[in-house]
Structure 1
Amino acid sequence: MPRVEFKPAGVVADMEPGASLLDAARAAGVRIRNDCGGR
């Protein structure tokens, strides 16, 4: 399972295969500004 670290928050999260970084951030409770609305 892929793992990502969101900096500067220092949050480490496992990602589901095929998930986007935005999906992983949301699941980990990390807020990321996204003008595209997640599309």
Structure 2
Amino acid sequence: MVTPRSDARARKPSLVLRSTLIVVMLLILTVCMTVIPL
């Protein structure tokens, strides 16, 4: 039994997690691009 209130609350953290994951992936990509040539 999932209420619309809990669903709305669950959606906000997912967006934050997605944004943080994207930032982390970009940082990893930049680090790899700088380390691989060396």
TM range (shorter): under 0.3
TM-score w.r.t. the length of structure 1 is 0.26
Bigger CA radius of gyration? 2
Q: Name the structure where helix makes up a greater proportion of residues.
A: 2
RCO (CA 8 Å, sep 6+): is it higher in 1 or 2?
Answer: 1
